[in-house]
């Protein structure tokens, strides 16, 4: 196993860089194909969310792999390599496994414990399978990450350590008030109908808003989301769908706006928001910015915040200095319009903070607020689960490495038995079928017993750290044809049922 991950996230890069580096779905597909075409990589998968972009690959050379994956990320993100490099982190082999498992459990999320990342990991795996860039290693890795994440949520109280970005965002909009009382009776506009927007709409409905309007570029998806909302037994929310062209009119009636689209440009400009509120943006006073120093949510996991918003490349996950963030001051007057921007790149103009009566919460402000969020004791239990699962995954991968050699050895032994039985038939042609069957079974039992102990033991030894060499020793001792072993491996990789759940 030579697993390598190169990426950047909200822990290593400022939102401005993450916005520019975000990858559209079609760009992700091209990145995967180009990674597989690169010499060091034999498998590839990309995990791209609103706050992280990570490229996973099975490589045969570490340094060449890091250089190639970094270059590919820069090329496809549109951010120059020289500018992107300070924000990249690198994990290799067991540390790469540990990183993904931590991500799957929500330990590396803006809001610790949020579960949305599991769906995003599942999507990343499905994309790799669809494009045939995820082979045995990445199929096993991502499938196991999903199981580890589900285990963490079912066996611990990690869900209590944090909420989804939607829930946390609504708490920030409520500014200390009870979210349900704050949202009761309000009118909400949800822009977008993807997974995050759907979650936002469902959360708003449960929180107690009276009306939800869904706007989406594809009207049928907005209609479907409205249908789902109205079928819910636990809410009495009124919901309807509109075209994107109606957003301007709906803004004049909304109390809450949640936006999460795949747009590469702004969906709501400051001018549009000012028009909806009947104010002039130019007359809005420029409020002084506030400088804060957020504490890292988990400084153990990997290097995160560093001075002046840049992050050093890291393999060891060492702690580094904190970065200082300049945050626009929010309006202190009554809130007429509460905005929650969950998109990356952002959907809502950051200049909206200049409009009196507007409160804006976006990905960057969520990161700053969640940095000081309390960590539940269950987080330690999840870390233990991750460590145990990393060890188990490594052992399983090392054992799997020797399996084709064991299969090739048994295939060779079966061939020897078949050859000897054929030779016996020539020397003793008068044997009846019963005698021949008994002799054949006896020879097979002898061979199986002779091979049982060494094959079982080599699997045990191979599962231990440094045990990969036992497969080579077995091939050398029994003079196994490397092509036969490779053929077994290829047959395993081409199994259509492998890596599917």
The predicted structure's pLDDT at residue 365:
81
Q: 406 or 135: which carries more pLDDT confidence?
A: 135
Confidence band for 295, pLDDT divided at 50, 70 and 90: very low
Q: Give the residue among 370, 320, 362, 368 at the shortest CA–CA distance from 338.
A: 362
Cα torsion through 265, 271, 273, 279, rounded to 10: 170
Share of the chain above pLDDT 70, in %: 80
- Residue 438 C-alpha from the chain's centroid: 56
Give the separation between CA 386 and CA 185, rounded to whole angstroms. 42
The predicted structure's pLDDT at residue 379:
84
Plot region of 261 (φ>0 → left; ψ -120 to 50 → alpha; else → beta): beta
Q: Assess whether pLDDT exceeds 50 at residue 306.
A: no
Q: Assess whether pLDDT exceeds 60 at residue 492.
A: no
Whether residue 41 has a cis bond before it, omega within 30° of 0: no
**Mean pLDDT along residues 224-240:** 84
Answer whether 287's CB lies under 8 Å from 358's CB.
Answer: no
Q: Assess whether pLDDT exceeds 90 at residue 105.
A: yes
The predicted structure's pLDDT at residue 312:
34
According to DSSP, the β-strands at 3-9 and 52-59 are antiparallel
According to DSSP, the β-strands at 89-92 and 3-9 are antiparallel
Give, as one character, the DSSP assignment of residue 281: G
Q: Assess whether pLDDT exceeds 50 at residue 399.
A: yes
**Mean pLDDT along residues 461-472:** 68
**Mean pLDDT along residues 175-194:** 91
SS3 state at 10: coil
Confidence band for 484, pLDDT divided at 50, 70 and 90: low
- Of 133-142, 204-213, 307-316, give the lowest mean pLDDT range: 307-316
The predicted structure's pLDDT at residue 1:
54
Confidence band for 330, pLDDT divided at 50, 70 and 90: low
**Mean pLDDT along residues 261-281:** 87
Q: Give the residue among 323, 333, 322, 327 at the shortest CA–CA distance from 361.
A: 327
Q: How far apart, in Å, are the Cα atoms of 184 and each of 205, 236, 337?
A: 10, 12, 15
Give the separation between CA 355 and CA 286, rounded to whole angstroms. 9
H-run or E-run covering 6 = strand 3-9
**Mean pLDDT along residues 356-365:** 88
Q: 416 or 124: which carries more pLDDT confidence?
A: 124
Q: Which of 78-82, 110-114, 295-299 has the highest mean pLDDT?
A: 78-82
The CA-based angle 176-361-377, given to 5 degrees, is 55
The predicted structure's pLDDT at residue 90:
96
The predicted structure's pLDDT at residue 301:
32
Answer whether 124's CB lies under 8 Å from 142's CB.
Answer: yes
The CA-based angle 443-446-448, given to 5 degrees, is 110
- Of 107-116, 245-254, 263-272, give the lowest mean pLDDT range: 107-116
Q: Assess whether pLDDT exceeds 50 at residue 335.
A: yes
Answer whether 152's CB lies under 8 Å from 158's CB.
Answer: yes
* Cβ partners under 8 Å of residue 493, min gap 6: 135, 136
Active-site residues, by number, are 50
Confidence band for 288, pLDDT divided at 50, 70 and 90: very low
**Mean pLDDT along residues 301-325:** 32
Answer whether 267's CB lies under 8 Å from 347's CB.
Answer: yes
Confidence band for 184, pLDDT divided at 50, 70 and 90: very high
Q: 497 or 180: which carries more pLDDT confidence?
A: 180
pLDDT digits (tens, 9 = 90+) for 408-433: 788 888 888 888 888 888 888 888 88
Plot region of 192 (φ>0 → left; ψ -120 to 50 → alpha; else → beta): left
Q: 273 or 326: which carries more pLDDT confidence?
A: 273
The predicted structure's pLDDT at residue 121:
95
Give, as one character, the DSSP assignment of residue 344: S
According to DSSP, the β-strands at 337-341 and 358-361 are parallel
Q: Give the residue among 20, 42, 257 at the shortest CA–CA distance from 136.
A: 42
């Amino acid at each position: 196993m030579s697993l390598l991950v190169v990426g950047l996230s909200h822990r290593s890069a400022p939102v401005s860089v993450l916005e520019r580096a975000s990858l559209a779905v079609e760009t992700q597909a091209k990145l995967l194909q180009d990674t597989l075409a690169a010499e060091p990589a034999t498998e590839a998968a990309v995990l791209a969310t609103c706050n992280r972009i990570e490229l996973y690959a099975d490589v045969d050379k570490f340094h060449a792999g890091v250089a190639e994956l970094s270059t590919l990320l820069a090329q496809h993100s549109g951010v120059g390599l020289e500018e992107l490099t300070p924000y990249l982190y690198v994990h290799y082999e067991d540390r790469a496994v540990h990183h993904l498992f931590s991500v799957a459990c929500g330990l590396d999320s803006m809001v610790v414990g949020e579960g949305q990342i599991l769906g995003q990991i599942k999507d990343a795996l499905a994309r790799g399978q669809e494009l045939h860039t995820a082979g045995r290693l990445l199929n096993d890795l991502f499938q196991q990450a999903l199981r580890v994440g589900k285990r963490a949520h079912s066996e611990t109280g990690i869900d209590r350590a944090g909420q989804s970005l939607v829930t946390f965002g609504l708490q920030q909009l409520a500014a200390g008030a009870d979210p349900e009382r704050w949202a009761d009776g309000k009118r909400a506009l949800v822009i977008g109908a993807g997974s995050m927007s759907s979650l936002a709409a469902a959360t708003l409905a449960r929180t107690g808003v009276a009306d939800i309007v869904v706007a989406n570029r594809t009207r049928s998806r907005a209609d479907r989301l409205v249908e789902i909302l109205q079928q819910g037994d636990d809410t009495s929310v009124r919901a309807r769908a509109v075209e994107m062209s109606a957003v301007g009119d709906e803004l004049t009636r909304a109390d809450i706006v949640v936006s999460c689209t795949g747009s590469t440009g702004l969906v709501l400009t400051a001018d549009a928001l000012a028009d909806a509120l009947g104010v002039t943006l130019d007359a809005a006073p420029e409020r002084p910015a506030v400088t804060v120093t957020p504490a890292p949510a988990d400084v153990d996991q990997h290097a995160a915040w560093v001075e002046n918003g840049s992050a050093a490349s890291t393999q060891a996950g060492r702690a580094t200095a904190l970065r200082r963030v300049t945050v626009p001051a929010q309006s202190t007057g009554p809130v007429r319009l509460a905005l929650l921007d969950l998109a990356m790149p952002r959907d809502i103009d950051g200049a909206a903070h200049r409009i009196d009566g507007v409160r804006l919460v976006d990905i960057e402000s969520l990161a700053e607020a969640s940095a000081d969020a309390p960590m539940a004791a269950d987080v330690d239990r999840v870390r233990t689960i991750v460590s145990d699962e990393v060890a188990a995954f490594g052992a399983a991968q090392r054992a799997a490495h020797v399996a084709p050699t064991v299969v090739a050895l048994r295939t060779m032994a079966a061939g020897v038995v078949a050859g000897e039985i054929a030779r016996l038939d020539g020397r003793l042609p008068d044997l009846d079928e019963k005698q021949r069957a008994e002799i054949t079974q006896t020879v097979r039992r002898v061979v199986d017993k002779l091979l049982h102990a060494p094959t079982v033991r080599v699997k045990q030894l191979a599962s231990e750290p440094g045990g990969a060499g036992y497969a080579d020793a077995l091939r050398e001792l029994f003079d196994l044809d490397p092509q036969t072993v490779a053929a077994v491996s290829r047959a395993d990789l081409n199994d259509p049922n492998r890596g599917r759940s």
